[in-house]
């Protein structure tokens, strides 16, 4: 068994909406059917007993080693605690070669599972040992290491539940919510709104106290004192009881607490000056430790925090009691469960010593032995949810504290007796304000109800809109696929967005455009480019040309789109690559964007293309069909049902829904040359349907199309028409039979004395497709000039020209054929022959260079 081309599908893909690992697995000989491998399955199950039934999803398939690998990789992840359910193995055209797809939740864990599953299969095959426990531990550790921690996880889960798209920016806890100009970020319990100065203030306890005091929040106020008399004076100012302590004193030396009389205060002062000169008198707070969680301007959760303790039973030592408590399965070493094991370390021993105890003391029955002063969960303390008990004034004080410091999320530490009363009434106070507080004690307290903290944070970050609709932080996304017309349609849709005042990000085969500026060049029709656009802070709407390469390689760069447009599939393009051999298989790839239309979204489909029309069944949202012919059966049926359709009636484009009709004259869409260029009419209809689907006003849509100019400057290589010495020159990047059919259709409406065409063939197409191009041209052009492409894409020299010539064998119109090496020479040859009134179609290959060359020739001619 050979495993190759392992890839991560990081978005919705050909197979499912899940993220998954995909690999090509080649099985040889008996590996094709494990029933032929005696004892293999038994050995496999012996090594991994939790392996599920080996039932292939294509149920007629025999179970191959690839299937065993599939189920093992899925099963290992499931056993390691990853919530994965999807897997699939598909036979390819090549005998014994399979595509294996296995879901993952963490890419690294998925990849590891694949690797270990392969080792497991080999171990079963060769009857060698396999350390299942070791592998599972390795996977669990890796998963714990890279998956989001509980705090971040809770916020992310809440965001996902709201439909907010998320993207992890690092292996750590930095996560982006939302797209484009709507994006915000979180990192554990910090948001992009969390102020750095707020955090710095929170870290300075004295400053925090000063600011809280200014805000009228009860804090243990105090001041340095000069002498014994001053200490008593201070105590009276502050109010009894007080603490007298050396400033910056540590380990409790010289500190006297809970002083209520003049005599006590004076004595405490004399004790304290023995340690340090600078003595403070501070308000004494007593009671429990509480943690109040403030999010935005609301108190969201409150917990009482108790230090770790054990209760004597009269028989066990303290050490044994700790062991008994720690044997509780709810207590773990890390943060995975609601409780953490009590740490029995030096600090605990010191605390025991203070109480006159040792680890070996046997406390009497019912005696409470506290093991630490602080109540942190991570050292074994417990948290009890008290959210519903908090007095409104106490809650208001906590909110005021958070706002005074300037934090949008704050953990407020309070010391007081009870949550039922305001702080002032019980002499309590706020002792600390924490930025980026831990959320575990509120999400999953040791005792009491868990609180919807994640939801509260997401709600604060993305408040509901004025219409009361929850904000999902998305921007409108339109995805476009199809064989031809994608780029022009994308640009038209971009223009509609712009006319609505939105800043547009666009990906296409020639680059990424943000607000019309190209920020990246080359083929940018893949998921990575789409993700980059969604990352851009200045993008209010996105249009993604979605080529199949990216879909196959990595899946989509987004989870859902508002509109998916399929222009056409026709006879197909690029067939033969990546196990896609037929138009139907190609349609499955292009369909992925239709499958991932949001439930509230729309698919805009070409009803004239049967393959495209049949995708309607795969759409969760609405469908708008478009076709030039209003009597197209698919379109007519849709219209008859009162659904939305776009078609042509004489010289207007009609958008109909039931009896409602909206007309846009073709004369107002310059791109279509009064409707004479059929494929541009299709593109215009697709764009109009998209604008309609997005709910934009008709006059804005019409205005956008009316202002759209398609020339060499704005749409290079898209039916650029020039005048050359009185002859008409058309340059286009059409490179497949469908495109050429459409071009010929458009040119048929243009008068010409003599027609010539300049063409090359791309080497990575199938022979048939190359031949077919000239077959079409042969019936429409008098002169054909063939040239060799700059790059032959794996073909022998002259091979492509040979194929192109073959296509012209039965040409009905072509009289002259020339074969030339070099695009520019071919262009020059054609231009030299042109007479006024002639028409020449140049199928350019190196778009920018060829257009520049043509422009130069035209300039010379004038």
User: Which residue ranges make up the site for another protein (CB under 8 A)?
Assistant: 169-170, 174, 185-187, 190-201, 207, 210-211, 213-216, 237, 400, 403-404, 406, 435-436, 512, 514, 519-520, 531-532, 535-538
Going from the C-alpha of 438 to that of each of 79, 209, 443, 658, 676, the distances in angstroms are: 29, 21, 10, 56, 66
* In the complex, minimum distance from the CB of residue 436 to another protein, in angstroms, rounded to a whole number: 8
* In the complex, minimum distance from the CB of residue 853 to another protein, in angstroms, rounded to a whole number: 22
Place of tokens 């359709």: 645
CA–chain centroid gap for 815, Å, is 56
Rank residues 11 and 570 by Cβ distance to another protein and give the closer one.
Answer: 11
Q: What is the distance between the alpha carbons of residues 154 and 21, in angstroms, rounded to a whole number? A: 26
Rank residues 101 and 280 by Cβ distance to another protein and give the closer one.
Answer: 280
Q: Kindly report the CA angle at 850 between 845 and 854, in degrees rounded to 5? A: 140
Give Cβ neighbours of residue 424 (< 8 Å, ≥ 6 apart): 218
Rank residues 199 and 789 by Cβ distance to another protein and give the closer one.
Answer: 199
Say what angle helices 228-238 and 262-273 make with each other, to 10 degrees. Answer: 130
* In the complex, minimum distance from the CB of residue 507 to another protein, in angstroms, rounded to a whole number: 12
* In the complex, minimum distance from the CB of residue 394 to another protein, in angstroms, rounded to a whole number: 13
Rank residues 195 and 578 by Cβ distance to another protein and give the closer one.
Answer: 195
Place of tokens 């009905």: 812
Q: What is the distance between the alpha carbons of residues 75 and 115, in angstroms, rounded to a whole number? A: 13
* In the complex, minimum distance from the CB of residue 214 to another protein, in angstroms, rounded to a whole number: 4
* In the complex, minimum distance from the CB of residue 206 to another protein, in angstroms, rounded to a whole number: 10
Return the sign of the alpha-carbon dihedral for residues 597, 600, 606, 609.
Answer: positive
* In the complex, minimum distance from the CB of residue 237 to another protein, in angstroms, rounded to a whole number: 7
Name the DSSP letter for residue 313: -
Number of Cβ within 10 Å of residue 113's Cβ equals 30
Rank residues 169 and 336 by Cβ distance to another protein and give the closer one.
Answer: 169
Sheet with 517-521: list strands edge to edge: 517-521, 511-514, 504-508, 541-545, 477-481, 561-566, 597-606, 622-629, 644-649, 652-657, 660-665
Rank residues 405 and 664 by Cβ distance to another protein and give the closer one.
Answer: 405
* In the complex, minimum distance from the CB of residue 752 to another protein, in angstroms, rounded to a whole number: 42
HEC sequence for 439-483: CHHHHCCCECCCCCHHHHHHHHHCCCCCCCCCCCCCCCEEEEECC
| Phi, psi values for residue 289, rounded to 5° | -90, 130
Q: What is the distance between the alpha carbons of residues 281 and 285, in angstroms, rounded to a whole number? A: 12
* In the complex, minimum distance from the CB of residue 192 to another protein, in angstroms, rounded to a whole number: 5
* In the complex, minimum distance from the CB of residue 239 to another protein, in angstroms, rounded to a whole number: 9
* In the complex, minimum distance from the CB of residue 209 to another protein, in angstroms, rounded to a whole number: 12
Q: Could you tell me if 588 and 703 are in contact, meaning their C-beta atoms sit under 8 angstroms apart?
A: no
| Phi, psi values for residue 422, rounded to 5° | -60, 155
Rank residues 536 and 647 by Cβ distance to another protein and give the closer one.
Answer: 536
Rank residues 422 and 665 by Cβ distance to another protein and give the closer one.
Answer: 422
Rank residues 87 and 183 by Cβ distance to another protein and give the closer one.
Answer: 183
Token representation of residue 575: 């067939």
Q: Could you tell me if 220 and 429 are in contact, meaning their C-beta atoms sit under 8 angstroms apart?
A: yes
Rank residues 294 and 758 by Cβ distance to another protein and give the closer one.
Answer: 294
Rank residues 198 and 485 by Cβ distance to another protein and give the closer one.
Answer: 198
* In the complex, minimum distance from the CB of residue 221 to another protein, in angstroms, rounded to a whole number: 10
| Phi, psi values for residue 560, rounded to 5° | -150, 155
Q: Could you tell me if 623 and 566 are in contact, meaning their C-beta atoms sit under 8 angstroms apart?
A: no
Name the DSSP letter for residue 63: P
Q: What is the distance between the alpha carbons of residues 351 and 379, in angstroms, rounded to a whole number? A: 14
Rank residues 154 and 800 by Cβ distance to another protein and give the closer one.
Answer: 154
* In the complex, minimum distance from the CB of residue 152 to another protein, in angstroms, rounded to a whole number: 12
Helices (H), 462-598: 486-499, 527-535, 548-554, 583-590, 592-595
Burial category of 622 from C-beta neighbours within 10 Å (exposed 0-12, middle 13-18, buried 19 and up): middle
Plot region of 538 (φ>0 → left; ψ -120 to 50 → alpha; else → beta): alpha
* In the complex, minimum distance from the CB of residue 388 to another protein, in angstroms, rounded to a whole number: 24
Rank residues 22 and 194 by Cβ distance to another protein and give the closer one.
Answer: 194
Rank residues 192 and 749 by Cβ distance to another protein and give the closer one.
Answer: 192
């Amino acid at each position: 068994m050979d495993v190759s081309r392992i890839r991560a599908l990081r978005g919705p893909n050909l197979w499912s909406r899940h993220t998954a690992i995909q690999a090509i697995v080649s099985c040889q000989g008996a590996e094709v059917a494990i029933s032929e491998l005696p004892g293999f399955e038994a050995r496999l199950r012996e090594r991994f007993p939790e392996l599920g039934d080996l039932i292939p999803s294509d149920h007629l398939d025999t179970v191959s080693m690839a299937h065993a690998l599939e189920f093992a990789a899925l099963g290992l992840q499931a056993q390691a605690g990853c919530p994965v359910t999807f897997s699939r193995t598909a036979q390819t055209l090549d005998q014994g070669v399979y595509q294996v797809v296995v879901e993952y939740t963490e890419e690294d864990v998925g990849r590891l599972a694949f690797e270990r599953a392969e080792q497991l299969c080999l171990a079963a095959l060769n009857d060698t040992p396999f350390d299942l426990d070791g592998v599972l531990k390795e996977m669990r550790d890796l998963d714990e290491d890279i998956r989001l921690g509980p705090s971040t996880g809770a916020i992310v889960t809440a965001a996902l539940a709201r439909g907010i798209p998320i993207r992890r920016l690092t292996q750590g806890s930095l996560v982006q919510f939302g797209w484009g100009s709507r994006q915000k970020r979180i990192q554990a319990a910090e948001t992009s709104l969390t102020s750095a100065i707020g955090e710095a203030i929170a870290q300075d306890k004295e400053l925090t106290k000063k600011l809280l005091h200014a805000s009228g929040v009860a804090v243990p106020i105090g001041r340095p004192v000069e002498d014994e008399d001053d200490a008593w004076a201070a105590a009276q100012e502050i109010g009894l009881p007080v603490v007298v302590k050396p400033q910056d004193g540590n380990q409790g030396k010289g500190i006297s607490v809970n002083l209520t009389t003049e005599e006590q205060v004076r004595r405490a002062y004399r004790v304290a000056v023995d340690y340090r000169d600078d003595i403070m008198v501070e308000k004494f707070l007593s009671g429990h430790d509480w943690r109040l969680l403030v999010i935005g301007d609301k108190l969201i959760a409150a917990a009482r925090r108790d230090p770790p303790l054990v209760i004597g039973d009269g028989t066990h030592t303290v050490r044994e009691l700790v062991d008994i408590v720690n044997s509780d399965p709810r207590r773990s070493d890390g943060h995975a469960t609601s409780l953490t094991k009590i740490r029995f370390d030096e600090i605990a021993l010191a605390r025991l010593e203070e109480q006159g105890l040792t680890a070996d003391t046997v406390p009497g029955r019912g005696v409470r032995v506290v093991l630490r002063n602080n109540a942190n969960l991570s050292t074994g303390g417990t948290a009890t949810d008290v959210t519903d008990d908090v007095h409104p004034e106490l809650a208001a004080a906590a909110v005021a504290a958070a706002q005074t410091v300037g934090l949008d999320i704050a953990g407020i530490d309070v010391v007081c007796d009870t949550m039922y009363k305001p702080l002032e009434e019980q002499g309590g106070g706020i002792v600390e304000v924490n930025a980026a507080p831990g959320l575990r004690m509120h999400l999953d307290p040791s005792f009491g109800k868990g609180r919807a903290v994640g939801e509260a944070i997401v709600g604060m970050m993305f408040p509901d809109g004025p219409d009361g609709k929850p904000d999902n932080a998305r921007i409108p996304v339109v995805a476009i696929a199809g064989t031809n017309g994608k780029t022009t349609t994308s640009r038209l849709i971009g223009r509609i967005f712009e006319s609505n005042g939105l800043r547009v990000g666009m990906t296409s085969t020639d680059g990424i455009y943000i607000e019309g500026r190209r920020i990246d060049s080359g083929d940018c029709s893949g998921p990575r480019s789409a993700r980059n656009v969604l990352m851009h802070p200045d993008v209010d709407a996105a249009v993604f040309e979605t080529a199949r390469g990216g879909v196959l390689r990595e899946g989509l760069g987004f989870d859902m789109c508002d509109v998916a447009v399929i222009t056409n599939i026709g006879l197909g393009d690029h067939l033969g690559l990546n196990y896609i051999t037929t138009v139907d298989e190609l349609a499955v790839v292009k369909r992925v964007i239709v499958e991932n239309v949001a439930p509230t979204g729309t698919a805009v489909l070409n009803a004239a293309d049967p393959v495209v029309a049949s995708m309607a069944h795969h759409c969760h949202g609405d469908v708008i069909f478009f076709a030039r012919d209003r009597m197209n059966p698919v379109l007519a049926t849709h219209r008859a049902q009162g659904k939305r359709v776009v078609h042509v009636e004489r010289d207007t484009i009609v958008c109909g829904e039931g009896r409602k009709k909206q007309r846009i004259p073709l004369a107002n869409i310059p791109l279509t040359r009064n409707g004479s260029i059929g494929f541009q009419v299709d593109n215009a209809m697709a764009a109009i349907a998209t604008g309609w689907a997005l709910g934009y006003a008709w006059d804005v849509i019409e205005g956008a199309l009316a202002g759209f100019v398609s020339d060499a400057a704005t749409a290079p290589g898209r039916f650029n028409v020039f005048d050359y010495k009185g002859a008409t020159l058309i340059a286009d990047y059409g490179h497949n039979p469908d495109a050429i059919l459409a071009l010929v259709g458009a040119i048929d409406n243009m008068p010409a004395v003599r027609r010539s065409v300049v063409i090359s063939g791309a080497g990575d197409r199938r022979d048939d497709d190359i031949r077919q191009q000239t077959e079409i041209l042969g019936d429409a052009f008098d002169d054909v000039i063939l040239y060799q492409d700059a790059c032959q894409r794996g073909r022998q020299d002259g091979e492509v020209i040979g194929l192109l010539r073959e296509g012209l064998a039965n040409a009905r119109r072509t009289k002259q054929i020339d074969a030339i090496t070099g695009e520019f020479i071919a262009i020059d040859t054609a231009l030299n022959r042109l007479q006024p009134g002639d028409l020449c179609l140049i199928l350019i290959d190196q778009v920018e260079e060829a257009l520049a060359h043509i422009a130069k020739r035209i300039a010379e001619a004038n």
